[in-house]
Chain A
Amino acid sequence: MTMTTADFSQAAAAKAVPSMRRSFAEPRNLRSYLLTLSVWLIAIIASVPLFSVLYMLISQGGARLSFDLFTQLPPAGFMPGGGFGNAIIGTLVMVGIGSLISIPIGILGGIYLGAISPDSKLSETVRFVGKVLTGFPSILVGVFVFGALVQAMGTFSALAGGVALAIGMLPTVLLTSEQAIRMVPQRMKDAAVGIGCTTTQTVWKVVLPTALPGIMTGIMLGIASAAGESAPLLFTALFSNFWLESLVEPTASLSILIYNFSGMPFPNQIQLAWSASLVLVLIVLVFNILSRLFGNRKV
């Protein structure tokens, strides 16, 4: 028997209109609602540590924040005032040395791992070593550079500090560069090869420009974490109360200054340690934000 249109509408009318209202009486709705709420709360709890640390730094260190901090040397024992200009310069110089060493090696290594020979034995080994180095205790990096450089040179130095920071930055730059280079779509490489690019031209003209935002993100993250390091510098750069005059003398850094001054019995020094902490966090924050900006740039 065939049904006509009229039959269909009669059948539909016979059926009761189903209730489609949202109701929390239904267990699955309630469960879903509660789960959403708890995930939401936990997400907020996860961000509590960062904001409480920031709050403390601003309230404790913000009071002393002034131009003098950036232009003056650390004060002696009972002296008032002073600043930590030399420590800021020391941190920047050593992070700079670390970058000069780790960025070229990291990017070139990333090119090998990501574009030249991703599946070779050498690549697998280097990738593994890089991952191990990521989780390597930074204090041991300091001890290593102490043995390798400081003892050989006979002095603590910014150079040794920079090398120690470079070792810490290298795996970050290497592995993020590799990731960014691997993300370059195969069709881009096909296009370059298909038009007659050599491997070098393909990497240089197509792969690197496309991967650059990702590589920059890795570099900024590496710099941000290096700027906050203290353990590798303890054994390599030590500290200094004077302006940096040469790369082969003990050098001040913000992180070591915080470590030294926070343990002193003088209120002035403790206040300076708070301010230095705030400045250090701001420096790290700037590089983190830069990494986000580079990462968000559309290819």
Chain B
Amino acid sequence: MTTNLSTPSAAAATTAGANAPQYAISAAIDKIYYGDFLAVRDSVIGVEKGKITGFIGPSGCGKSTVLRSLNRMNDLIPIFRLEGRVDFMGQDIYAKDIDPVSVRRHIGMVFQQPNPFSMSIYENVAFGLRLNRYKGNMDEQVERSLRRAGLWNEVKDKLKQNGLALSGGQQQRLCIARAIAIEPTVLLMDEPCSALDPIATRIVEELMLELKQDYSVAIVTHNMQQAQRVADITAFFSVDVSKGGRTGYLVEKGPTKELFDHPREQLTREYVSGQFS
């Protein structure tokens, strides 16, 4: 099989007209290795502007690996190696002259475990602004970010309190406020609700729907109902064990309703209907 290296945006531009989807990130991942281990292969995926893209699939299917390679978080793992391209606004973020630190300032990330810093709520949000020597009014930007994260009313009277003293759901919204304070273009969320209770989950999900007006969002989730509730587009990944390894790959992607109601692939049908082992 030959790998299609053309990016989704390029492919879409040639086939569709005015309604062609606009991509904030378009990735054509040929292979991702951890050392000798082939973790992901042949996955062409994009993050559409102003929409939520959900990544679903069984454990070990590489959905988190793919998400974390969209802002070069995987660079932290020394043995990580990617073949292919990840385009962000027309630039390949894996090109040699690209600084991964500035990539991450434009493509923010929210993690599985809420991970506020051990400092005040205010300082948590101001952290990224200080890194970037923010010139504007710090207090206003902190308030705006906390408001957009739906946390302002709960914390406005205790901004000096340590961020770790908040509840899990509040901590996760604090992390979202911290991520959006520096106004990234894309927000990547790696199972952001898996450590939260159902009520906190619902609040964060509502927040995501608000956020997509300003940001392009990609979310990894274990929870198919969550994908159906929030994602506009869903990508289904699976694991290929045929060659002795466990290699993840993209099975299919499409508008969420279509993917769940009329999947094109047999594997997808089995997974979304719960027959997948």
Contacts and interface: CB of A to CB of B under 8 A. Distances in A.
B131 interface: yes
Contacts of A206: 117
Contact of A187 (B105, B108, B113, B132): B113
Contact of B117 (A191, A193, A198): A191
A210 B109 CA distance: 21
A198 B127 CA distance: 13
Interface string A168-207: 0000000000000000010111111111111001000110
A124 to B, nearest CB: 14
Nearest to B103: A196
For the side of the interface on B, what is the size category? 20 to 34
B108 A194 contact: yes
Specify the main secondary structure of chain A where it touches its partner.
Answer: helix
Given A187-B115, A206-B117, A210-B118, A195 B73 contact: no
Contact of A191 (B71, B78, B115, B132): B115
A189 B179 CA distance: 14
Interface string A258-278: 000000000000000000000
Nearest to A299: B118
Interface in B85-142: 101-102, 104-105, 108-109, 111, 113, 115-118, 127-128, 131-132
Contacts of B76: 189-190, 193
B182 interface: yes
Nearest to B124: A191
A146 to B, nearest CB: 44
A201 B127 CA distance: 11
Interface of A: 119, 185, 187-198, 201, 205-206, 209-210, 299
Interface of B: 71, 73, 76, 78, 101-102, 104-105, 108-109, 111, 113, 115-118, 127-128, 131-132, 175, 178-179, 182
Q: Which 5 A-B pairs have the closest CB atoms?
A: A196-B105, A194-B109, A187-B115, A191-B115, A196-B104
Given A191-B115, A195-B109, A196-B105, 10 more contacts: A188-B117, A190-B111, A193-B76, A194-B109, A194-B179, A195-B131, A196-B132, A198-B101, A201-B131, A209-B118
